Structure 1
């Protein structure tokens, strides 16, 4: 719905809403990587997957995840410019520049994730490997390998620390500058208005990073937990945030909410008008 409304309404084709669309695409892509296969497992019992298919699924899953995190950083920068330098907002953040920043985030994700799949491809697997998961999660695949997996485990940890650590640092820096700028404003109403523009982004960050970090830590250090606990947490991490994030932005973003309601009302009026023409025309009846 977010993608449809932004594509249809020219007034919404601005940097902030383009970022929402990119965020939505990464979330749709991430869930699409796992849901068809997971449903085949649960509904039809099709549990087999080739090695190349498994590594491909893993590559795209983490590709969308890292790109999603990069988009959250760009959105934090967008909020910083909107609050701290509003007069130059359209100059600094044009649609073309947003597209370039999104491309940089995608390239960064490819460079980080591609070695992860290549390193796993070189490892020998046991005779009848069984992945204790509903999708090809990195640690779950590493556990069924027979070779030395220290490099794989270390590189996976490095990706988590460097990627998430760097992104959270940049987001924290942006919000530190935003808070400093807001505190310099004397009007309480202006305080509230400035902070309200960041509420949706903060909620989405909490929804995205908290489950991810919790899942990553339990996968690596929660060895005493039952396997189904890891699987459940990993599935919830990939399903709940993409489900709630569009709702959060739909509620907190006034312009998007109004345009969505406008399209809904217009659709209802068009349907009512069509029905009235149908029933008033004897031939049509």
Structure 2
């Protein structure tokens, strides 16, 4: 990405100076805040656990850490730096597994606290048993491929359920999610499943607007990729921002309706089959709002 921006082909100017300056700024910000946190921890340890201490002591430890690192690099040169990098990787890789477990524990703890503090959340013992989506992720418009591959010889059980060919609502919602996904997103928020009492109406409207901007943004950046390949990378970034946003909405949607699934499946569906994910949720809303028609 840096190369494509810095050394573009043709007459177009690169963005190398801007990206280089931005990278240096972010790296400096990262190392300064990391050093500040490390100095705070060392200062607390040196003060026998006391959190109230003079700021000069913290500055002393910050300069001491920097001096030690500088001395090691000057004494050992590039070999010392390579050894330090190798040691960081060797000791850091096993620790990542521990961090993953910690992250999972934090997520479960936050969910438990949220459910205990929120009276609108149902008790786990009263939750409905997990069920499947009204339309599978590979159903709907993808039934056309199955119909073609099977040469029209679809199993009778699928024909009875109307799963041999996509229905008009399935096709309509798929293409609406493909071309105008922000309209489908607004419809999901308006249904009251994700936000039952509409307490976050402004936030939901803001998220919908951001989703729409990112949607048009990644399309425009992909088009600009014909001029400079670096724009494609930025386009993918906006695309996956939308995917993460939709994954979070789909996860809460499933939990509200007791639909079986997991966050990995949500992310894959919202990344590679996002029109189908929108169609799934819209059709699920319609089936919930009209249960009599669904039973018939």
Q: TM > 0.5 between the two?
A: no
TM-score (norm 2): 0.29
Q: Report the TM-score when normalising by structure 1.
A: 0.30
